[in-house]
C-alpha cells in the first residue's frame, strides 16, 4: 500500500483547483523585525499512534475530520507559501504518517517548483512501511523522535509505543537511502538523562545526527520544572565522554551543532529556555486545523481554513492573510517563565511537532 497514489479528496483531480491564481505577485515574507520567513512547519493531523507524556494528555480529544484541513487544502497552503519565497517545508503531526493518503500529499509537495527542501518529522512507527515511498516522493530528510533505547522506558514515555518498531523504521530509512537522518531527544531529568551517552553512541553507530531538546512548556503538564535539563548541563555530561568540537553549520532550524572529529554525526542542542534563538527565527507553523502561528511560544494565530473554504477558486485572500500575519510575529518568546503555568495551553501535538 505504500505506493498508493489515489486522490484523497473528490476534487483532487480538478485542473481548475491547481490553477488557483498562482500567477499573482510573489515575494519574500518579512516580519516587522526584518526576519525573512523561509521555513514552514505544516501539521497534517493532530492524531498520533503514541501518547508521549510531554506532548499530549493520556486521554486526548482529537479534532473532527471536518475541522482539519483536507490534503488538498494542505497543498494549497504550501503552494502559497512557496510562492512567497518559502524554500523549506517540514511536514509534522501528531504523527503525519497515520493520516490516510499522506503519501499523496508528499508526492505533490515534492514536485513544487521553488521548494528546495521537503522534510518529515515522525515518531518512526510507520517508516518500515513507508521509507522507500517517502524517498521516491521527494522527502529528503527525516527527523525521528527517540528519547530512550530501553524498551520498558520507551513504553512508559510513549504510553503505547513499541521501541522495536521504531528501530525497524530507522533501519528501513537508512536502507532506503536517507542521509543525515536526525534523532530528536527530549531531555527529561529522572526519565532519560542517564542514557544521553548511549543515545550518542547509537547515533554514531548508525551514522545518524542527533539533537537534544529542552522540554517546552506547552499544554498543562505538571512537573516540568522537576524534569527540565538545560543544554549546558547535557553538553557538559557528554564532554566527559566525547571530544566535542563546536560547529558553525546549520540545518536551517534552531539547533546549534557540535562535531566529534573524524565522525559524520552532528550533535545538536535546541535550547528554547537557556539560549533563546528568536533573533534568527525564520519559521512559522500551521496546525492541522489551518491556524497559522507565527511563534510557537505565543497564542496569536491567523485562521486560514475559513479563507480556504470561502475562496475555493482563489488563493488571493489566503495569500494576503499570510502576509498580514507577519505583523503578529513577536520579537521573542519567554519559555523560561512558563515552566509550571504555561502561557500556551495547547499541547505540542495540537501545534505540530
User: pLDDT at residue 181 above 50?
Assistant: yes
Looking at residue 219, its pLDDT comes to 47
Rounded Cα distance between 82 and 27, Å, is 10
All three cell numbers of 125: 512507527
Are 286 and 43 in contact by the 8 Å Cβ rule? The answer is yes
Packing angle between helix 196-206 and helix 231-239, nearest 10 degrees? 70
Confidence of residue 60 (pLDDT cuts 50, 70, 90): confident
pLDDT tens-place string over residues 213-264: 998 765 444 455 688 899 999 999 999 999 999 998 887 777 899 999 999 9
pLDDT in tens, 118-158: 999 999 999 999 999 999 999 999 999 999 999 999 998 89
CA count, 13 A, side-chain hemisphere, 250: 7
- CATH 3.20.20.70 given to domain 15-351: yes
Distance CA 199, CA 144 (A): 13
Q: What is the pLDDT of residues 165-175, one digit of tens each?
A: 999 999 999 99
**Host H or E run for residue 183:** strand 182-187
DSSP state of 353: -
In 3D space, the residue among 222, 332, 330 whose CA is nearest the CA of residue 275 turns out to be 332
Q: Report domain extents, the chain.
A: 15-351
pLDDT of residue 290: 97
The per-residue pLDDT of the chain, averaged, comes to: 85
Amino acid at each position: 500500500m505504500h505506493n498508493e497514489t489515489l486522490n484523497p479528496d473528490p476534487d483532487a483531480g480538478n485542473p481548475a483547483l491547481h490553477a488557483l491564481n498562482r500567477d499573482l505577485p510573489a515575494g519574500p515574507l518579512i516580519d516587522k523585525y526584518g526576519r525573512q520567513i523561509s521555513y514552514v512547519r505544516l501539521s497534517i493531523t493532530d492524531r498520533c499512534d503514541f501518547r508521549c507524556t510531554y506532548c499530549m494528555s493520556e486521554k486526548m480529544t482529537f479534532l473532527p475530520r471536518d475541522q482539519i484541513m483536507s490534503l488538498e487544502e494542505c497543498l494549497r497552503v504550501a503552494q502559497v507559501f512557496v510562492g512567497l519565497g518559502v524554500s523549506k517545508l517540514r511536514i509534522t503531526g501528531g504523527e503525519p504518517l497515520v493520516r490516510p493518503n499522506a503519501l499523496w500529499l508528499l508526492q505533490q509537495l515534492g514536485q513544487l517548483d521553488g521548494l528546495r527542501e521537503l522534510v518529515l518529522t515522525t515518531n518512526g512507527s510507520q517508516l518500515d512501511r513507508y521509507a522507500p515511498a517517502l524517498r521516491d516522493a521527494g522527502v529528503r530528510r527525516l527527523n525521528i523522535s527517540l528519547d530512550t533505547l530501553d524498551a520498558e522506558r520507551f513504553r512508559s514515555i510513549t504510553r503505547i509505543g513499541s521501541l522495536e518498531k521504531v528501530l525497524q523504521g530507522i533501519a528501513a530509512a537508512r536502507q532506503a537511502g536517507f542521509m543525515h537522518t536526525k534523532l530528536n531527544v527530549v531531555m527529561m531529568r529522572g526519565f532519560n538523562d542517564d542514557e544521553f551517552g548511549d543515545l550518542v553512541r547509537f547515533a554514531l553507530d548508525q551514522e545518524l545526527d542527533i539533537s537534544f531538546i529542552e522540554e517546552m512548556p506547552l499544554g498543562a503538564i505538571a512537573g516540568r520544572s522537576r524534569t527540565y535539563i538545560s543544554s549546558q548541563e547535557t553538553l557538559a555530561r557528554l564532554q566527559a565522554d566525547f571530544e566535542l568540537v563546536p560547529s558553525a553549520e546549520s540545518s536551517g532550524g534552531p539547533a546549534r551543532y557540535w562535531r566529534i572529529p573524524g565522525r559524520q554525526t552532528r550533535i545538536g542542542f535546541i535550547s528554547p529556555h537557556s539560549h533563546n534563538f528568536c533573533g534568527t527565527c525564520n519559521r512559522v507553523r500551521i496546525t492541522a486545523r489551518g491556524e497559522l502561528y507565527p511563534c510557537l511560544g505565543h497564542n496569536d494565530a491567523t485562521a486560514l481554513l475559513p479563507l480556504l473554504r470561502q475562496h475555493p477558486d482563489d488563493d488571493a485572500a489566503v495569500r494576503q492573510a499570510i502576509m498580514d500575519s507577519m505583523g503578529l510575529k513577536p520579537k521573542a518568546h519567554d519559555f523560561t517563565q512558563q515552566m509550571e503555568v504555561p502561557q500556551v495551553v495547547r499541547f505540542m501535538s495540537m501545534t505540530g511537532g
